[in-house]
Copies of this chain bind each other. A is one copy, B any other.
């Protein structure tokens, strides 16, 4: 399976190393927007422009959401092109042979992601193109997940809640710890348990805390402890939402 990877960002770098390590995948070219050209140590041709691309079985776009339509527009009309975005419609790709390959994960600079068992959401304009994407997922040791565009955009929203928003709460907690001379790692066992109990219990069933028990005294106190208005607004919104469900 000949693949050309387009994008040198966080996801692009991960896909580069994992595709490169998979024996069934032949990574022919890698498009990066840096000044770098030539070949990678593994012999993969590095190019800067999509108009320098060879033919391939699949052009995999790991570019920003905004760049997807413009990159797809300059790729051959008959090419099989798949993007990797959770929140971008399949129709943004002008090719008839268009697909989505959405890894349900967050990618950070300097972190290696384990692709084994990682769900990868697949969708294709033409069902005859699905087997190739399935083969790619399997070659990476990941988990095929068929979904339509509606399911994908909903899953992307859910991913934003459990990853981006949760991460922001962690950042706010880290700031509180730092302002009070407490190491953030003190919260590790609590964070671990918050996640581990999902294995056995539904998060709705285990909701605890001042909001769940309608403990207005503690809620009022916390609001006076919070100095930043933006965190106060989060505190109020989440507290109200929890109270509505209890």
Which A residues contact B (CB, under 8 angstroms)?
A: 64-66, 87, 104-108, 110-111, 113-114, 117-119, 145, 147, 150-151, 153-155, 157-177, 179-182, 184, 186-195, 197-198, 200-204, 206-213, 215, 217-218, 221-222, 225-226, 228, 230-231, 233-234, 236-238, 240-242, 244-245
Contacts and interface: CB of A to CB of B under 8 A. Distances in A.
A187 B208 contact: no
Contacts of A191: 162-163, 166, 195, 198
26 contacts: A104-B186, A105-B193, A106-B208, A108-B197, A111-B193, A150-B180, A151-B182, A158-B172, A158-B187, A160-B222, A161-B169, A161-B172, A162-B194, A163-B209, A164-B207, A164-B212, A166-B191, A170-B203, A171-B203, A174-B204, A188-B198, A191-B195, A191-B198, A195-B195, A230-B241, A234-B238
Nearest to A213: B64
Contact of A193 (B106, B145, B240): B106
User: Assembly of this chain: how many copies?
Assistant: 2
Question: Which of A145, A155, A177, A200 is the most central at the interface, judged by chain B CB atoms within 10 Å of its CB?
Answer: A155
A242 B161 CA distance: 13
B173 A158 contact: yes
Given A110-B201, A179-B154, A200-B111, A164 B209 contact: yes
Contacts of A188: 198
A158 B178 CA distance: 11
A206 B104 CA distance: 17
Contacts of A175: 204
A221 to B, nearest CB: 7
A191 to B, nearest CB: 5
A159 B180 CA distance: 14
Contacts of A213: 64
Q: Which 7 A-B pairs have the closest CB atoms?
A: A164-B209, A230-B241, A170-B203, A158-B173, A171-B203, A233-B237, A171-B204
A28 B197 CA distance: 31
A235 to B, nearest CB: 8
A23 B163 CA distance: 42
Contacts of A105: 189-190, 193
